[in-house]
Amino acid sequence: MDLKNLTIKKFHQGLVDRKFSALEITKAVFDLIKSRDKEIGAYLRTSEDAALAKANIVDAELNSSGKIGVLGAVPLAIKDNILINGEITTSASKILENYKASYDATVIKKLKKSDAIFLGKTNMDEFAMGSSTENSAFQKTRNPRDLERVPGGSSGGSAAAVAANMCVAALGSDTGGSIRQPANFCGVVGLKPTYGAVSRYGLMAMASSLDQIGPITKTVEDAAILFKEISGKDEFDSTSVNPSTGRYSDELLNPDFEKIKKLKIGLPKEYFIKGLDKETQKAVQETINILKSQGFEFKEISLPHTKYALSSYYIIMPAEVSANLARFDGIRYSQISNLKSQILNLSDIYLKQRGLGFGDEVKRRIILGTFVLSHGYYDAYYSKAQKVRRLIKNDFDKAFQDIDVILTPVSPSPAFKIGEKTSDPLQMYLEDIFTIPVNLAGLPAISIPTRTNGLPVGFQLIGKPFREADILGIGQWYEKI
Amino acid sequence: MSEKINKQTLEKLAELARIEIDSSKEEKLLGDLAAIFGHFEELKEVDVSGVEPMAGAAELTNVFCEDKEIKCETPAIDLINAFPEKERDFLKVPGVFE
């Protein structure tokens, strides 16, 4: 059984054509996880019994009715900050080590309805804070394409699981690049939807004005399938919306390539900078050449405030982090038990549980956020950053008057070595300079592998709000060439 | 915007955020924060006069709901059972009055 090329699309076709059963594939995936994940470390936990039981149910349904949805029995990996009812959900943090989710995230509810199978929960940077998955409180994850290197982050476990074929597709979350950058490092596809396109209900909040859940897959077509299934307005997330045209239509899955070919692509000069790694530049340029030869029209554009995105983001995000993570007090969800025997007052419990329960990066961001929101500094930092955010969004709005889609690199360089950047947080933050502006502006963007032979290098397509169809369309076109 | 966070400020912030910081890690943390705030200096160059702050990525509209009782989908007992320490159906914490 060829798990390597098994996409959602092929899996579904195989089931329908009775080439294999859901049970056979699910068992094969778990066999692979058992042998391969020892060295990769993509999964924090797996749920084999539940997955095999579900596979049996779908097989029986298929045998009796002959009908099955496109995601029926598709084996998925889920990032560990997304709640599945009854399952341990930790966000890779010690402070939630024993927390069992009490309800399903909306995306999980939708996928359960589609009869998808959940293989397990994947490793990540603690509370999604990081770009290498090295900030997990529990384990390191290695890049399946080069075990000496990081898989990227924060959805590093999900990207590694897809790249190593230890699932057919996965869900991640993206606050400043956490889906696109690991997809880029592992040589797979990652989609960050428009802010509001996918419900955040049941996603542990990091920075609420920036977070989005999205698919990590082997192909752009699979990303379109999974995105269509999880998107839509949800009454439990008041920031979720339907596109102004109503529901996302079939153009996501069946793009009209005649229309797609007419889309104008912008190349922002601020993203093709001197510090860009040579191989990355070469690979992205080759992609541009391929698309040009296919008749796509390109235009150089300028997004003048790009330079300030990182600073703006590292003020706004920690501010939201400091507020969102206040709920983790070591009392309500989970606690570090070896403190139990000491007699402490309430304030000491907070200090100690949070002091021991949070890792260094999480603490750094909470302190940073507490500072920028404090009296006397609010205007100089937080308010200023929000105004710069507006200017960044205005840059995109202006550019999109002339062009339809923007093409850029995903990261300044390919996957780095494990341990290479852990001691210098600013260096780690700079990993996300090309992905952060998209979150600030709330736009959809996708990371797609180029055809380079060395370490994986992706390119990023950024679309207009709720025009996932454009970037997915070009991506599907690129896949066919 | 060149304010640096010193040891005293850090300790105050840690107290406000209810996080105990290991004293052996204070120096590194102060250095990291100084580097990060150093990077923020570039924001001084940006002219933001007349620019409205952007608080979120969504175009938010008010949501109005009818004032009626809706049964919560998640049974309360599931949330209560998640408490690490409880007594009957109550969350158990040390006394807050000395």
A398-442 tens-digit pLDDT: 999 999 999 999 999 999 999 999 999 988 999 899 999 999 999
In a domain, A54, yes or no: yes
Min distance A410 CA to chain B CA atoms (Å): 21
Cβ distance A311 to B43 less than 8 Å, yes or no, reads yes
Average pLDDT, stretch A277-297?
Answer: 96
> Which positions of A are catalytic?
79, 154, 178
Separation CA A211–CA B95 (nearest Å) = 37
The total number of structural domains that make up chain A: 1
pLDDT at B1 over 50: no
Min distance A157 CA to chain B CA atoms (Å): 26
Which of A135, A50, A118 minimizes the C-alpha distance to A82? A118
Chain A contact present for B77, CB below 8 A: no
In a domain, A192, yes or no: yes
Which of A140, A238, A223 minimizes the C-alpha distance to A174? A223
Cβ distance A335 to B84 less than 8 Å, yes or no, reads yes
Cβ distance B13 to A195 less than 8 Å, yes or no, reads no
Average pLDDT, stretch A455-477?
Answer: 97
Indicate the residue of A103, A354, A370 with minimum beta-carbon distance to B13: A370
Q: What is the pLDDT of residue A341?
A: 57
Burial class, A208, CB count within 10 angstroms (exposed 0-12 / middle 13-18 / buried 19+)? middle
Report the Cα–Cα distance between both ends of chain A, in Å, rounded: 26
Cβ distance B96 to A346 less than 8 Å, yes or no, reads yes
Chain A contact present for B16, CB below 8 A: yes
What residues make up the domain containing A62?
A: 8-261
pLDDT interval class at A6 (50, 70, 90):
very high
Is residue A446 within 8 Å of A191, Cβ to Cβ?
Answer: yes
In a domain, A402, yes or no: no
In a domain, A34, yes or no: yes
For residue A345, list chain B residues with Cβ-Cβ distance below 8 A: 94-95, 98
CATH number of A42's domain: 3.90.1300.10
In a domain, A211, yes or no: yes
pTM exceeding the 0.90 threshold for the entire prediction: yes
In a domain, A22, yes or no: yes
3-state helix, strand, coil in chain B (%, to 5): 40, 5, 55
pLDDT interval class at A63 (50, 70, 90):
very high
For residue A175, list chain B residues with Cβ-Cβ distance below 8 A: none
In a domain, A3, yes or no: no
Indicate the residue of A100, A387, A441 with minimum beta-carbon distance to B82: A100
Indicate the residue of A347, A386, A439 with minimum beta-carbon distance to B55: A386
Q: Residue A62 — φ and ψ, nearest 5°?
A: -65, -40
In a domain, A196, yes or no: yes
pLDDT above 90 coverage of chain A, percent: 89
Q: What is the pLDDT of residue B2?
A: 47
Min distance A196 CA to chain B CA atoms (Å): 6
Report the Cα–Cα distance between both ends of chain B, in Å, rounded: 42
For residue B16, list chain A residues with Cβ-Cβ distance below 8 A: 370, 374
Burial class, A239, CB count within 10 angstroms (exposed 0-12 / middle 13-18 / buried 19+)? buried
For residue B81, list chain A residues with Cβ-Cβ distance below 8 A: 102
Q: Look up residue A219 and give its DSSP letter.
A: S
For residue B98, list chain A residues with Cβ-Cβ distance below 8 A: 345
Strands of A47-175 (E only): list them.
75-79, 117-122, 169-174
Is residue A308 within 8 Å of A393, Cβ to Cβ?
Answer: no
Separation CA A371–CA A144 (nearest Å) = 39
Separation CA A153–CA A164 (nearest Å) = 16
Q: Taking CB atoms and an 8 Å cut-off, how many pairs form between chains A and B? A: 166
